[in-house]
Structure formats: C-alpha cells, structure tokens
C-alpha cells in the first residue's frame, strides 16, 4: 500500500500558492498515467474536467501515455479512441477490465464524486482501488463536512490508499483536512480555457446577463429570473441568457424542469427577455458566448459548493461575475473579481446586476480583477502542476508498490 507523506513542495494551501511557478520538475521516464472518471460523450462536469485535464497534461508532457478508464451508465455509449476501458454501472465484470488497465500504468489519477461510481454513495470505488499496486492520486470534487457513516468510510478508504489527495479549491482543502485525516493533500486549481482575446468584430451590447451549464434544481435559476425581472426600467432592456442542456438525470424524468423555468419567466412578465439556449456548443462556440456576456450570474443555492468550473471559465474570460456566497465564489471573488450576494436574496442580486450593467467603471474594474485571477487558472498552468505531482508520486513510489515496471 502506498502511504507516504507528500514532499513539502507538493503542498499548497491556497489558489495563490498553487498559482506560483512550481518547483523544478522531477525527472522521470515517460509515464503511463491512467485517468479515471466520467468522460465525453457523457454530459457532466466531471466528464468535461477529465477530458480537459487529460488534454492539458498531454500538452505539457506529449511523450506520456494517458489511457482513460471511463465510468458509464450505459454499456452502449460509444468510446473515443483514448478510452482503454469502460466500467459500466451494474456490470461487475467491467470492473476487472478497469483494474487491468490501471495495473499497467505507472500512476493513476481518479476523479471522485459520490454519484459517479456504482453502489450506494458510489462505494464501488473502493473495489477499484483496493489492492491496486499502482500509485494513486485522487481528485476530490466534493467534500462533505457532515458525511454519513458510509460516506466517511469511502473517503477514509480513498485517503488511506492515495499517495496524494488533490482538491480544486482552498476551501475544499480546508474542509478535507478539517473533516478527515489527510496529511498527503494539496491544492491544484480547477483549470479553464484561456478565453481573454476577442475575435475580430466581437462586441458586447451592455445588456446581456449569462448563466450556463447543465440545468437542474438547485441552480437558483428561479431567483435569477426574478432578479432580472426587476431590471425592467433599464434601457436598452436586459436580456438574460440561460444556456445549456437539462442535466441527463433530470431529463430522464422528462423536461418539466425547463418548462417550469419558462413558466416562471412568463409569470413575471419577462418571457421576451429570458432566452433559453439549449443548442450544442463546441468549445469555440461556448467561449464566444461567454465573451459576449456583460456579466455572468451564478445564483447557485448550495452553500457547500467548493468547486465551480463555470466560475473558473468566467474568470478565464475576464467576465464580471455576480454570485451567491458559495465557498468557491467567496474564495475567488473576494479580491474584486465579482460581487457576492446572499443566497436567495433576489433584491441583492438585482442591485448587483444593475450596478455592473449601469454604474460607470464597475464592469471594467471587475473585468480587470477577473483577468488577474483567471490568468492563474488556465489549463496549461494547471496541467503543468498536475504533471509535476504525478511525476513526483511515480518517482517516490517503491518499485514493489508501483504498477508498470
């Protein structure tokens, strides 16, 4: 079992620490790194993260091999070329293929959310890592401060097995260390595409508010629509764009949720000012949409969200942000990159939007601060940090504990 304290240079406590240039890289032969997580064409934040992280590491270490072990709900989902194995929910035999793939790797990196693995609270992840001789890095995207007994057992098993635990925010790292025994833990920020440069001819109109991502209950969109409805006196009128598909788990029960949002807009008299954009967008199209926004609105209801890819992408696009006070937003926006509002406070949300859209100098100041933060979070920098951690873990593992040798 790999059970080592991470070298001091691997430990970062805040996104500012993590943003500093890493120490001199550890020299290792070209590595084979197994990457475990959901993966496109699956639609979810972890799938997008896994794909982007793989691309970022590959860009920094083109000589490395990066086979993917993807987590699936449906065995018939087509696989991209980089997928070496698929672990299908409810198909125990596919676990063996996943374990064989990881056994052939020098190090494995597992994305962890309770809901993406098989079993109650995703406890089948323990079957994946148990007795696996390959050194393991686990990226924890959710940290519960009051876990159930089973959830604590899962977290404890992963932390005991991991050579290094990684969180994508300092608030997540603080919660991990406060709630669990995690001496081998560090922060590597959530990455984002560099989206600062506008294309020729692009311009903003001064009246567009944008929220994007998979739609579902808990995103606070009802409050956001109401906040926009209170801006009816502004001219030109404000348009609120809600972009994204309904989350697959919500859509599986029908798309009543999206219709409920349409009904809220109609009831508040802003059906003509709230635009639902559910078209498929590739990376370039999404980046252009983000750049077109005058302000990004993150009205999330969760008070425990320690990681938001949408927030990071907004900052890496130098967009002003108005957000509820979820932990990741407090961490990244408190120095002036956005305006924080209390959860569920429609008046405060509306006032913040009005301030950004109409008070001279506010949007420019927020945009400049957002760019300063966003420049530390772009994928090449994040990919380099992950690559150095993976190399260090592989180099410090005893030969008997490693995978492929």
Q: Which two tokens stand for residue 401?
A: 């504990």
Strands 295-298 and 107-112: unpaired
Contact predicate 151/114, CB 8 Å: yes
User: Element (H or E) spanning 29, and its range?
Assistant: none
The domains located in the chain, with CATH, are 8-190+378-396 (3.40.50.2000), 208-374 (3.40.50.2000)
3 state SS of 329: helix
User: In what side-by-side order are the strands of the sheet with 83-88?
Assistant: 83-88, 68-72, 33-37, 107-112, 136-140, 164-167, 185-187
Query: Residue 201's beta-bridge partner residues?
Result: none
- Three-state DSSP class for residue 170: helix
pLDDT of residue 4: 39
Token look-up 């197994």 returns: 34
User: Given strand 274-277, what is the order of strands in its sheet?
Assistant: 274-277, 239-243, 208-212, 295-298, 321-324, 338-341
296: nearest Cα among 328, 266, 319: 319
Interatomic CA distance for residues 392 and 226, integer angstroms: 50
Count, in order, helices (H) and strands (E) of the chain: 15, 13
Query: Which residues of the chain fall below pLDDT 50?
Result: 1-11, 15, 19-21, 398, 400-402, 405
C-alpha distances in angstroms, 91 versus 75, 101, 400?
A: 9, 17, 31
The closest alpha carbon to 193, from 298, 277, 285, 327, belongs to: 285
The pLDDT of residue 9 is 38
Render 234-251 in DSSP notation, one character per residue: -SSPPEEEEESPBPHHHH
Nearest CA among 94, 165, 149, 189 for reference residue 379: 189
Say how many residues make up the chain.
405
The closest alpha carbon to 49, from 392, 383, 272, 366, belongs to 383
Please tell me whether the overall predicted TM-score, pTM, comes out greater than 0.75 for this model.
yes
What b-and-e string marks burial along 69-88, b requiring 16 or more CB atoms within 10 Å of the CB?
A: bbbbeeeeeeeeebbbbbbb
Residues 6 or more apart in contact with residue 39 via CB below 8 angstroms:
47, 50, 51, 68, 70, 71, 80, 83
Angstrom distance (rounded) from CA 167 to CA 138: 9
Cα separation, 266 vs 344, whole angstroms = 20
Interatomic CA distance for residues 137 and 258, integer angstroms: 38
Q: Which of 266, 267, 206, 198 is nearest to 239 (CA)?
A: 206
Q: State phi, psi for 144 to the nearest 5 degrees.
A: -85, 125
| Of 198, 191, 139, the residue nearest 374 (C-alpha) | 191
CB-based contacts of 306, cutoff 8 Å, min separation 6: 142, 143, 167, 168, 169, 171, 172, 175, 326, 327, 328
Nearest to 181 by CA among 387, 5, 357: 5
Kindly report, residue by residue over 92-127, the tens digit of the pLDDT: 899 999 999 999 999 999 999 999 999 999 999 999
Q: Which tokens sit at 24?
A: 């001199």
Task: State how far Cα 4 lies from the chain centre.
Answer: 27
CB atoms within 10 A of CB 329: 25
* Residue 307 near residue 168, CB atoms below 8 Å: yes
């Amino acid at each position: 079992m790999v059970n080592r304290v991470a070298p001091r240079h691997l430990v970062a406590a805040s996104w500012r620490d993590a943003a500093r240039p890493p120490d001199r890289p550890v020299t290792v032969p070209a590595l084979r790194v197994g990457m475990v997580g959901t993966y496109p064409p699956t639609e979810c934040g972890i799938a997008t993260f896994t794909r982007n992280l793989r691309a970022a590491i590959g860009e920094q270490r083109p000589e490395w091999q990066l086979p993917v072990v993807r987590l699936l709900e449906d065995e018939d989902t087509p696989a991209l070329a980089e997928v070496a194995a698929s672990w299908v929910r409810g198909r125990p035999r596919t676990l063996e293929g996943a374990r064989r793939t990881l056994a052939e790797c020098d190090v494995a990196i597992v994305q962890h959310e309770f809901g993406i693995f098989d079993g109650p609270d995703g406890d089948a992840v323990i079957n994946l890592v148990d007795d696996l001789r390959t050194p393991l890095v686990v990226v924890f995207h959710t940290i519960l401060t009051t876990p159930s007994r089973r959830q604590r057992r899962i977290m404890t098993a992963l932390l005991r097995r991991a050579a290094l635990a990684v969180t994508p925010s300092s608030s997540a790292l603080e919660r991990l260390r406060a709630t669990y025994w995690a001496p081998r833990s560090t922060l590597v920020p959530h990455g984002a595409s560099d989206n600062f440069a506008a294309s020729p001819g692009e311009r903003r109109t001064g009246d567009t508010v944008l929220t994007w991502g998979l739609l579902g209950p808990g995103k606070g969109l009802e409050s956001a629509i109401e906040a926009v409805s209170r801006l009816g006196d502004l001219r030109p009128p404000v348009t609120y764009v809600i972009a994204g598909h309904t989350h697959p788990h919500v859509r599986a029960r029908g798309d009543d949720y999206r219709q409920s949002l349409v009904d809220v807009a109609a009831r508040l008299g802003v059906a003509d000012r709230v635009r639902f954009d559910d078209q498929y967008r590739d990376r370039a199209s999404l980046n252009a949409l983000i750049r077109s926004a005058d302000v990004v609105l993150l009205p999330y209801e969760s008070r425990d969200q320690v990681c938001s890819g949408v927030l990071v992408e907004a900052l890496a696009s130098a967009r002003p942000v108005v957000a509820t006070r979820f932990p990741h937003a407090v961490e990244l926006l408190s120095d002036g990159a956005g305006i924080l509002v209390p959860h569920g406070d429609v008046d405060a949300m509306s006032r913040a939007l009005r301030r950004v859209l109409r008070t001279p100098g506010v949007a420019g100041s927020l945009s400049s601060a957002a760019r300063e933060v966003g420049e530390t979070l772009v994928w090449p920098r994040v990919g380099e940090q992950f690559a150095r951690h993976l190399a260090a873990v592989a180099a410090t593992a005893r030969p008997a504990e490693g995978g492929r040798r």
